[in-house]
Amino acid sequence: MALREFEDGRGERWRVWDTVPARTEGLEDTFRAGWLTFDNGVERRRLAPVPQFWSQLPAERLALLLRIAEPAGPREAGFAGEDRRAAERRLAERRQGDRRRGPLPPESSP
């Protein structure tokens, strides 16, 4: 899994990575082959399908992909008909994984 960090046009820092589901039952067709996950620590968005060679794109192109990515939350993760507790548990597990990776490095000022 590739991981990139970039700033959008408003100066917000984002992390983006490709997500490949371990299981596809219950997933909407759009998400079965995976998606890009964009996260800035407050908001999470998803883009499917994953663009080829996305990890080599310049930051400006990643910012454009971010603009067309859809907001994601426990009920909008691409799963149809799952119960709320399961979706919330997955979200908590992802947040715990983010904590293990640590915070984004501080921005350097010019």
Q: Identify whether 107 is part of a domain.
A: no
Cα 107 to Cα 28: distance, rounded to the nearest angstrom:
37
DSSP state at residue 8? -
Whether the per-residue pLDDT at 75 is higher than 50: the answer is: no
Q: Identify whether 56 is part of a domain.
A: yes
Q: Identify whether 106 is part of a domain.
A: no
pLDDT band at 80 (very low <50, low <70, confident <90, very high): very low
Range of the domain at 81: 3-101
Q: Identify whether 44 is part of a domain.
A: yes
Domain count, the chain: 1
Q: Identify whether 77 is part of a domain.
A: yes
Q: What percent of the chain has pLDDT over 90?
A: 57
Whether the per-residue pLDDT at 60 is higher than 50: the answer is: yes
Q: Closest by alpha carbon to 19, among 2, 39, 38, 36?
A: 36
Q: What percent of the chain has pLDDT over 70?
A: 68
Q: Identify whether 108 is part of a domain.
A: no
Whether the per-residue pLDDT at 18 is higher than 90: the answer is: yes
Q: What is the pTM of this model?
A: 0.66
Q: What is the mean pLDDT of residues 66-81?
A: 70
Q: Identify whether 88 is part of a domain.
A: yes
**Confidence at residue 66, expressed as pLDDT on a 0 to 100 scale:** 98
Q: In this structure, what token pair is assigned to residue 48?
A: 């499917």
Interacting residues of 32 by C-beta distance below 8 A, sequence separation 6+: 21, 24
